[in-house]
Structure formats: structure tokens, C-alpha cells
Structure 1
Amino acid sequence: MTRQEFKRALYEVLEDTGKRKLAARFLRHFLVFLIIFNIVLAVFETVPQVRLGFGEHLRFLQLGSGFIFLVEYILRLYVADLHPPLRRYGPIRARLRYAVHPDALVDLIGALPLLFVLFLPNQAVVVVIILRLLRFLKLARYSPALRSLISAVANERRALLGSTMIIMGVILLAATTMYLIEHDDQPEKFRSILHGMYWAITTVTTVGYGDVVPVSNLGKMVGSFVMLLGYGLIALPVGIIASAFAREIHSRDFVVTWSMVARVPLFEDLKATEIAEVSKLLQAQSVRKGMTIADRGDVADRMYFISDGEVEIKLPHDTVYLGEGSFFGELALINQTRRTATVSAYSDCQLLVLEAEALRQLMDRDEALAKKIMDEARERALAGKKVLGELAEEELQQAGVFAAGEDARTEPEPELFSKDEAGQDKDPAQ
């Protein structure tokens, strides 16, 4: 293996791209475990009994973990110039640009404790503890939901800033009012507006410690009003974040689904609006590990997209494994013959299913869309083009388009969506 090939392989494993899915998955799971393990260690290390009894062991584990995080950071910098957006900058500038990326900064935070322990063992104890706990930020790289939440907060920063200003204004007004009312009755507790702000914050947030309370009747009335107002004020940013998070999740799911449909050869020439219409027909399906998705001999009347997990396809002479983002059964939408392979869940799977009948109804409503799909299907069938290697070739053979080893162009044009004598659509399996 050459240096460039090694670098490319390292990039595919670190960034979970390419064909090295198993190694990338192992590395991802290992790093997630190591991050959580370090956070637990950092917390337990503050317990005196644990620190005295296992101090040397904990130090060894922390140094080992820090070394792994440091190596990970250096390797990610090393392959930074292979990222598509950074390739045009060259090796040095690409690495400098990557170094200031939020993900790279978080990786650096995970590696800094080791450097502080080695070079400043006594002066940076508090900093080291904080940085160790901040390693939980690295989980954002491996958690789409956490990244979506961060993105939702960033997108709604103006609305959140506005709601924060409203809350601060109410706190300041409540503190000033209570200072004017209670200062004479409780000069020690309401010595200034700043002291009144402590009461206002605990009241608006509905915490109410009870160490500072109004004693006058007017003060109690103002306090009651501020308490009720607090419920609405706190709900304001919560509602903003919740709606933005839901919108972000929906947008991400739509983009992922849209992109999966768009890269299917049968649909790749469709317009964006037409692909969106096809995406709306998809139905979610959960399959447990080991369960059969499609049996050999079943009528192939649906197509599957793998949104999560891995499936196993047992062909007559081979076994194919397909992972997240893959699809199978493209030709089943048009040539509804019987399957020649058994498909089962190699792990717990989340599938998106496109039924041939649903697609046919959409095509009946849109003649232009129907023509595009039928023309593409006819061209692909006559050309004998593969979709997923052996699987697509098996489906072409079972549909009678071409025989193995023969030139597909010598075969007659296949009859797609065959008609019965009355001219109606007929299931080829019947």
C-alpha cells in the first residue's frame, strides 16, 4: 500500500466514508465509549476515597485516553486536505482551515488535558478537570440528534436573544419595583436593586428558595404576579428551541430521504419536484435483526431504502451486504416478477419502502413523470445496466431482459407494466 493509499484509507475510516464501513463503525463505537468512560472517570476522580485508593490507576487511564485523543486529533489534521471542500487549498492551508473548524476545536479540547498534565502538572489542576468534562462535546460528532439541536439553537439565535432580552427586562422591572416596595421593611434583604434582582430571578424561574420573600401586602401582590408571569417567560425560549429542533429533524430527514431517492438510477433524471413527489410515497418500516425482509419466490412489488442498519442478500452464488444509504429492488417497481434472492436484516434496520402500486398511481396522475420513468426503465433494461451488481443482474435475468453472458441488445424490448387483453395493468406474477 502506497502512502497516498494509506492516507485515503485512513480518511475513509476517520470520516466514515468509502467502503471501509466496518472499520469506521468500530472506531466510532470505540471513541464514543472512550469519551463516556473518560467523563465517568473525571467525575469519580473528584471523590476523595476513589482518588486515594485508585489514584495511580486513574492517572494511567487518563493519560492513555489523552494519548488516544491526541493521536486522533493529529491524524484528522493529517487527512484534512482530503475533505472535498478543502482540497483546493493545498495541504498546508487546508489543515489550517480545518484546525479552526468547530469539530477540530472540540477534538483539540479533548487532547489538551494530556498536554497540561505533562507540562503543567501542578498549576492546571482545575483547568484539566474542566477540559476532561468538556470531552462530552466530542459526542456531537457521532450524534446526529445532538448536531441537529445545536443547529436549531444556532438558527434561532436571534429569536432566543430577543426572548432573553424580554426576560431580563422583566427581571429588572420586578427587582426595581420590589426594591421600592420592600426596602423600608427589609433593608438588609433589599439593600439595592441588585439584591432585588436575586429575588426576581428565583421568582421568575419559579425556583423560589424562600430566603428572600416580600412581607408587605403590596409586595406579595407583585410577587404573585411575577410568579405567574414567570411561567410564560420561561416557556418562550423552550417553545422556540422545541419548534426549531422539530423543524431541523424534519428537514434533515427530508434531505436524507430526498438524496436517497435522487441517486437511484431510475429516478436520477427527474426534476427536484418530481423526486419530492416520489419521496412522499415512502413508508417507514422497522425490522429486527435476523428477520426476513423478502423471501425468494415472493412477488417483487416494492423497493427498499436502508436508512439505518445493514441487510444481507443471499444470491444463488454469493451473499451481498448492504448498509446505510443503499437501496435494492429498483427493478421490482417496473418488472414485478418473483425474487430470486432472500433478503434478511443483518442488524436492526430502519427501512423506507416504495411500493410499485403507489408509484403507479402517481404515474397515472402525471403523464410526464410516467414517461420519464418508463423511458429510463426501458433504456436500463435494454442496456443491461447494473444497479447493485449481482442483485440487479439477477433481477434483469429473472425479468427475461437478457440471459447471463448474452448481449442484451439482441433481446426483444421488455414489456414494462404489462397489459391484459382489456388494456388494463396486469401483475406479471399472475
Structure 2
Amino acid sequence: MKEKIFNIIQIGDKSNKISRAFDIFITIIIVDNIIVTFLETFDQLSSFSGLFKIVEIVTVFVFCVEYILRIWTANYLYPEVTAGHARFKFLISFDGIVDLLTIIPAFFLSGFVIFRMLRVARIFHLFRLNAKYDSFNVITTVLYEKRNQIISSVFIVLILMLASSLCMYSVEHEAQPAVFRNAFSGIWWSMSTLLTVGYGDIYPITTLGRIMAICIAYLGVGAVAIPTGIISAGFVEQYQRKSSISDLKDADIQEIAEVFVDKRYAGKTVEEMEEAQQITIFLVLRDDFSVLPQKNTVLKLNDIIIIRVEGE
């Protein structure tokens, strides 16, 4: 029974209809909770506060039950450690922290502001559900694979922001000391300019300052375009890799192809994969390494395998 419950509450198991129904149920509960949290902020709907409270209690109760079940079945999630250690690993894991933050606001809502702000964590609970499915997993995979390039582009933006803020402060401080009081005022202006937001609450009035603002605004267009281009290119690469093996077979492709290893194939050995799918695996691309496949090589999630579909 414990193992069955563990399999049911696992997210993203498309092969188990009960687990898939549980995912849909939890999604509905989370959406209902978020909608109620949103509607409670409207004074015009104060007459429905009783109904909102009931929905809040019911949904939080479901969250609590799910949280307890996940702690109880944690030894199946981490079978390599003891039951107590497995429960501790779940409690400090991302999923465990999100589950806890989902529950805490209901018990401390009238307390500190920080606990009321934690209600936003329920949205991350919804993200966690979506992240287990292929469509959302593409986004997380792209961000992970392009993390170095994204970090580099963000670093460039920060350097431009600091440089432009110091330059603008030096030029504008004497002309409007109440506006550009310190370097932080320049940072606020440079942020809104580089990111093309342009709030207009702080702006240069000197000729030199305006010339600099024009140049910085042009730099801002390029600064925003850099990470956007990196992420867009990553999406194109991922969708090209997401061609499933079944699609390749149906298309009767006989040449070499790249296939993205998703949850259906992760954990299988090269031998199992070749026999089940009637393919030949020539190479496994894993992170920044190329792995020559052996019969007992275990495929991992997000691996890229170079294959050829065997002819009929």
C-alpha cells in the first residue's frame, strides 16, 4: 500500500492513470487556492469571505495530507539511504521546502508580513507540477544548459549599469543634486534605461547627460537582446532534439539522428534501448562530455543520443 501511494503521488508519471488523475486533482486544488487568495483582496467580494475561508481550509488540508504522504513514502524516493535519512533529505529538498511554504501561511496568516508573503509559494507549487512534464521541462532544460551564457550576459548588463550610473551621477549631480543624490540614484536610472522600461521619474537635464542617455539607451537594447537570443536559440535546439524515437521510426528515417532522452527512456541501458526500439546508438552526449556507449551504459535524463534507426 505504501509503495502504491508513492507511485500515485509522484508527479509526471504518464504511464499511471491514477497518478495522472492525482496530478490533475492537485493542479485544480492549487489553482482554486491561488484564485481565492487573489479574490480575497477585493473589498467588493467581502460578502463571500465565508466561502473563501472554506475553500482555503479545504485546499490547505489537501496540501497537508499530500505533504504528510510524501514524508511517509520518502524512503521510496531515496532508496539508497535509511528511512529517517530519506525523510530528512525530502524535507530539505526543493520539493519539500515548496510543500512546507505552501502550508505555513495558513497557520501564521495573521502574524508577520513574511508569512503572508509566503502565500506566493503556492504558485511555485504549481510550477513544480508543470516542471515534471515535457512542455515545461523544455524551459528548465534550456535555462540549465545555457546558464553560463545567461550568467555572462547578466554580468555584462550589471557592468553597463554600474558604469552608466557612475557616469550619469558625475554629470548630473551638480545640476540636480536632489535627484542624483548618490550613485544609487544613478543605478535606478540606468536600470530603467538599460532595460528599456523608462519610468521617467529620474532623467538628465544637462546636454552632456542627455547625449550619454541616448548612447546608454542604445546599449540597453543590445543588452536585453543578448540573453533573449541565447534563450531563443536554446529553445530551437531543444525542440529539434525532442523528436521522439517513435516519430523517427514512423518517418522511416535511415540516416543518423539526434534524440533527446526524456523520462520515458531515462534509466534504461543502451542494450535495452537498442533492443526495444530497434535502433543503433553510436554516441551519448552528456553535459559537456561525449560517452562511447557500452551495452550496460545507463542513459540519463537530458542525455542526447546519436542513433540510426534500423531498416525493416
TM-score (normalizing by structure 1): 0.55
What is the match of residue 82 of structure 1? 76
The 5 Å alignment of 1:330-341 reads: none
Instruction: Look up the SS of the partner of 2:180 in the other structure.
Output: coil
2:183 & 2:11 partners in 1: Cα distance?
A: 55
SS, match of residue 214 in structure 1:
coil
In structure 1, list runs of 5 or more residues that go unmatched.
1-5, 277-357, 364-369, 371-430
Which is greater in Rg?
1
Distance 1:255 1:8, change over 3 A: same
Question: Where in structure 2 are the equivalents of 1:382-397 lying within 5 Å?
Answer: none
Counterpart of 1:242 (choices 217, 228, 232) is 232
Structure 2 vs 1, CA of residues 36 and 265 (structure 1 numbering), >3 Å: closer, same or farther?
A: same
State the alpha-carbon separation in 2 of the partners of residues 257 and 93 from structure 1.
Answer: 26
Match status 1:136 vs 2:123? yes
Tell me the distance in 2 between the aligned counterparts of 1:275 and 1:168. Answer: 37
Residue 406 of structure 1 corresponds to none
Q: Deviations over 1:40-66 (max 9, x none)?
A: 11111111222x212222122112111
CA distance in 1, matches of 2:170, 2:145: 40
Q: Which residue of 1 aligns with 2:37?
A: 42
Q: Which residue of 2 aligns with 1:98?
A: 90
For 1:229 and 1:60, the matched residues in 2 are separated by 52
Q: 1:156 and 2:165 equivalent?
A: no
**Could you tell me which residue of structure 2 aligns to residue 72 of structure 1?**
66
TM-superposed deviation, 1:141: 3.3
Structure 1 position 70, deviation (Å): 0.9
Distance 2:80 2:164 in 1: 56
2:8 corresponds in structure 1 to 13
In structure 1, what is the equivalent of residue 26 of structure 2? Answer: 31
Which moves more between the two structures, 189-198 or 242-251? Answer: 242-251
Q: Distance in 1 between matches of 2:72 and 2:236?
A: 36
Query: Residues of 1 paired with 2:85 and 2:107: CA distance?
Result: 25
Q: 1:214 to 1:62 in 2, by over 3 A?
A: same
Partner of 1:259: 265
Q: Distance in 2 between matches of 1:82 and 1:244?
A: 34
Does structure 1 retain, via aligned residues, the 8 Å contact 2:14–2:20?
no
Q: Tell me if the contact between 1:12 and 1:20 (Cα under 8 Å) persists in the aligned partners.
A: no
CA contact (8 A) 2:12 2:23 kept: no
Partner of 1:54: 48
Q: 1:21 to 1:173 in 2, by over 3 A?
A: same
Whether the 8 Å CA contact 1:81–1:90 is kept in 2: the answer is yes
Alpha-carbon offset, residue 220 of structure 1: 1.6
The aligned counterpart of 2:201 is: 211
Distance 1:259 1:150, change over 3 A: closer
The DSSP-based 3-state class of the residue aligned with 2:282 is helix
Q: CA deviation at 1:210?
A: 2.2
Question: Offset of 1:164 from its aligned partner?
Answer: 1.9
SS in 2 for 1:87: coil
In the comparison of the two structures, how many residue pairs are matched? 268
What does residue 199 of structure 1 align with? 189
Q: Secondary structure at the match of 1:175?
A: helix
2:181 partner SS: coil
Q: Residues 232 and 264 of structure 1: is their aligned pair in 2 closer, same or farther, counting only changes over 3 Å?
A: closer
* Overall identity of the aligned pairs, in %: 26
Cα distance 1:240–1:229, how it changes in 2: closer, same or farther (>3 A)? same
In the other structure, the counterpart of 1:273 is 282
CA distance in 2 between partners of 1:103 and 1:114 (Å): 18
Superposition TM-score, scaled by structure 2 size: 0.74
Provide the C-alpha distance between the structure 1 equivalents of 2:153 and 2:281, rounded to a whole number of angstroms. Answer: 37
Shift of 1:25: 1.9
The one-letter code of the counterpart of 1:103 is D
SS at match of 1:167: helix
1:252, CA displacement in angstroms? 5.6
C-alpha distance 20-273 of structure 1, shift in aligned 2 (>3 A): closer
Q: CA deviation at 1:162?
A: 2.2
The one-letter code of the counterpart of 1:89 is: V
- Contact preservation (8 Å) 2:11, 2:19: yes
1:137 deviation in Å?
1.1
Residue type of the alignment partner of 1:59: K
Could you say what secondary structure the match of 1:272 adopts? Answer: strand
Q: Taking structure 1 as reference, are residues 9 and 176 closer, same or farther at Cα in structure 2, changes over 3 Å only?
A: same
CA distance in 1, matches of 2:283, 2:143: 32
1:233: Cα distance to partner?
Answer: 0.5
Give unpaired runs (5+ residues) of structure 2.
244-259, 286-307
**Aligned residue for 1:226?**
216
Give the letter for the 1:100 counterpart: I
Whole-Å separation in 1 of the counterparts to 2:14 and 2:206: 73
**CA-to-partner distance for each residue in 1:234-264, whole Å, 9 max, x for gaps?**
1122223333344445556521399399757
1:265–1:164 Cα change, 3 Å:
closer
AA in 2 matched with 1:206:
T
Shift, 1:69, TM fit: 0.3
Aligned-residue offset at 1:22: 2.6
Question: Tell me, what secondary structure is at the counterpart of 2:17?
Answer: helix
Amino acid at match of 2:198: G
The one-letter amino acid of 2:75's match is D
User: Is the contact between residue 274 and residue 280 of structure 2 (CA under 8 Å) also seen in structure 1?
Assistant: no
CA contact (8 A) 1:42 1:133 kept: no
